[in-house]
Chain A
Amino acid sequence: MNLTKLSSIFQRVRRNISTSPYLHLAATATIAFSLLVIGVFAMLYVNISALIHSWQQDVRVVAYLKDELSEEWVESLRQSFAKLNGVEEVTYVSKDEAMARLRRQMKHRLSLLEGLRENPLPASFELQLVHGAQTPENLDLLASQLRGFPEVEDLGYGETWFNRFSGFIGFFRLASLIIGGLVIAITVFVCANTIRLTLYAKREEVEIMRLVGATDAFIKTPFYVQNLIEGLLGGLVALVLLFGSFKFLIARIQTPDALLSSCDIRFISFTWCAALLAAGMFVGWFGSYLSLKSFLRS
């Protein structure tokens, strides 16, 4: 590839775009839109994953104890629990402390608790799982071990929401893949079509080029370059729009007294951004490839 061919390629790219600017604008917009959709899914995925991760830090099993256990007994239980597989930390909550917590939570409806003659709340141990091993399986394993203790009357752990959420994340991932794939396929189709239309408009020119000794590569390259540029441009537009709406959203919901103020929404990583740009260029390239493959055979 020398300077002459390079300048010839870019002249033809410029010509292609200037003869049908709206076609190429539409193609770029389509790429931008589909990458934006994918970017939104990426944002959701990244943030939901982060949220779930932070919840996992907090996964614990509560073992409610039978009443009237002696202090020594409780102490020996604590030591046995601490030795169980996967347990990071064991915290004892006495009956009185449980009641104190309840009072704190219900401080506006204390009257409801007035009528109680004795404390109905059980003492309990809270077992924190080892960091990094907070999977539903480990949780179940620990629970079944705890059920083997006669002193444990009942267990409390977020097994249902936890499992449901793991399931949801799997479903979300699948749905994202399907929607992403669909959007990409449509965009490839649109890109292939802009090339097909351009080729059709330029069939005479292409035919003449062949007659004067142009190779297929010489003829094809501008169409690839043109779609690569549109893919890159579409990717940049999508990223700018995504970042813009992200900033807008952040400004809206992170007011001091809002419900979600503690929520830490983050933007997709640099790798994700690069992947979106690469996806845009791939879509453009592949669209060109599909159209050119059949066209130049004829």
Chain B
Amino acid sequence: MITGTGAEPVIQLFHVHKRYGSQTAINDINLTVTKNDFVFITGPSGAGKTTLLRLLFLQEAVSEGQILVNGINLQRIRRAKIPLFRRSMGFVFQDFRLINSYTVYENIALVLETTGQDIRHIRKKVPHVLRMVGLEDRIHAYPPRLSGGEQQRVAIARAAVSNPFILLADELTGNLDTDAADMVFGLLRQLHSRGTTIIVATHDSRLFDKARARIVFLNQGRLEGETKS
């Protein structure tokens, strides 16, 4: 089992399998992520990175094995409790999943609205997080008018705005130019310094030197090793 350095485990996977029909996307993975870890999950396309994150976010159920998040077995979480569970996490989706008919502001504010936070707080918080990813001037734009890199930064801002306990980011890639990547990782480092546990899936090894992190290798659904950056 590959473990982090901290004491408190936040995410634990025990012999996790995920199968789609005859296809095995995740094959017997054991992994422990401790509080305030910064983890890169890397591997070629089709390795199972997205599937692993989807399992952690309860977008999919495991076929076999167990996942504990904060000691809670994900299989035991009732359907009605899933929203609450997800609010403790931020997820940057590979395809961003922004609502095209909402402005950038509305997309990000939505996260805070679901938890019923004070409107004045939302009005301050949203521009603040957008400034951190360098998009404060696009606050009233609609996502289809943004470039792919800009959309990804909005998605990151949305995932970060609620100060999540765990942040999952799928496929942070070369969509980002150097300046944008620096801003994004600046934001991630800031969250990290506040105690957020961060897991970034990417096949882009150029990102590894952007943060001191564990690097976990995935191939054909199997965990093949780990190093540090």
- Seen from chain A, the residues whose Cβ lies within 8 Å of a Cβ on chain B are 2-5, 7-8, 15, 19, 204-205, 207-216, 218
Evaluate contact between B119 and A212: CB separation under 8 angstroms: no
B86 at the binding interface (Cβ < 8 Å): yes
State A213–B59 Cα separation when bound (angstroms): 12
Evaluate contact between B87 and A213: CB separation under 8 angstroms: yes
**What are 24 inter-chain pairs, A to B, with CB distance below 8 A?**
A4-B112, A4-B113, A5-B116, A7-B119, A8-B110, A15-B101, A19-B101, A205-B101, A208-B99, A209-B114, A211-B57, A211-B86, A212-B86, A212-B114, A213-B84, A213-B111, A213-B115, A214-B114, A215-B83, A215-B114, A216-B80, A216-B83, A218-B83, A218-B114
Evaluate contact between B97 and A208: CB separation under 8 angstroms: yes
Contact with A along B178-217 (1 / 0, CB 8 A): 0000000000000000000000000000000000000000
Residues from chain A with a CB closer than 8 A to the CB of B165 are none
Residues from chain A with a CB closer than 8 A to the CB of B49 are none
* 7 closest A-B pairs by CB: A213-B87, A213-B86, A8-B113, A214-B114, A215-B83, A213-B83, A2-B116
Residues from chain A with a CB closer than 8 A to the CB of B93 are 211
Say yes or no: A211-B114 contact (C-beta < 8 A), given A3-B119, A4-B119, A7-B119: no
Say yes or no: A212-B101 contact (C-beta < 8 A), given A4-B116, A4-B119, A7-B119: no
B40 at the binding interface (Cβ < 8 Å): no
Residues from chain A with a CB closer than 8 A to the CB of B116 are 2, 4-5
Contact among A4, A209, A211 for B117, CB-based, below 8 A: A4
B118 at the binding interface (Cβ < 8 Å): yes
Could you tell me the distance in whole angstroms from the C-beta of A88 to the nearest C-beta in chain B? 67
Evaluate contact between A212 and B122: CB separation under 8 angstroms: no
B91 at the binding interface (Cβ < 8 Å): yes
Evaluate contact between B101 and A213: CB separation under 8 angstroms: no
State A210–B80 Cα separation when bound (angstroms): 11
Residues from chain A with a CB closer than 8 A to the CB of B83 are 210, 213-216, 218
Given contacts A208-B97, A211-B57, A216-B80, 12 further A-B contacts (CB under 8 A): A2-B116, A7-B119, A8-B110, A204-B99, A205-B102, A209-B110, A211-B86, A211-B91, A212-B86, A213-B111, A218-B83, A218-B114
Nearest chain B residue, comparing its CB with the CB of A211 = B97
Which of B93, B99, B112 is most buried by chain A, counting CB atoms within 10 A of its CB? Answer: B99
Evaluate contact between A205 and B99: CB separation under 8 angstroms: yes
State A83–B115 Cα separation when bound (angstroms): 79
State A7–B83 Cα separation when bound (angstroms): 20
Residues from chain A with a CB closer than 8 A to the CB of B100 are 204
State A216–B10 Cα separation when bound (angstroms): 27
State A261–B57 Cα separation when bound (angstroms): 76
State A146–B122 Cα separation when bound (angstroms): 87
Could you tell me the distance in whole angstroms from the C-beta of B55 to the nearest C-beta in chain A? 14
Residues from chain B with a CB closer than 8 A to the CB of A2 are 116
State A203–B29 Cα separation when bound (angstroms): 33
Evaluate contact between A208 and B115: CB separation under 8 angstroms: no
Could you tell me the distance in whole angstroms from the C-beta of A8 to the nearest C-beta in chain B? 4
State A215–B122 Cα separation when bound (angstroms): 19
State A8–B102 Cα separation when bound (angstroms): 12
Could you tell me the distance in whole angstroms from the C-beta of A206 to the nearest C-beta in chain B? 10
Could you tell me the distance in whole angstroms from the C-beta of B228 to the nearest C-beta in chain A? 31
Nearest chain A residue, comparing its CB with the CB of B100 = A204
Residues from chain B with a CB closer than 8 A to the CB of A213 are 83-84, 86-87, 111, 114-115
Residues from chain A with a CB closer than 8 A to the CB of B153 are none
B158 at the binding interface (Cβ < 8 Å): yes
Residues from chain A with a CB closer than 8 A to the CB of B97 are 207-208, 211
Evaluate contact between A4 and B122: CB separation under 8 angstroms: yes
Contact with A along B69-94 (1 / 0, CB 8 A): 00000000000100110110001010
State A278–B69 Cα separation when bound (angstroms): 48
Could you tell me the distance in whole angstroms from the C-beta of A119 to the nearest C-beta in chain B? 90
Say yes or no: A5-B99 contact (C-beta < 8 A), given A211-B91, A213-B86: no
State A7–B117 Cα separation when bound (angstroms): 12
Residues from chain B with a CB closer than 8 A to the CB of A8 are 110, 113
State A214–B86 Cα separation when bound (angstroms): 9
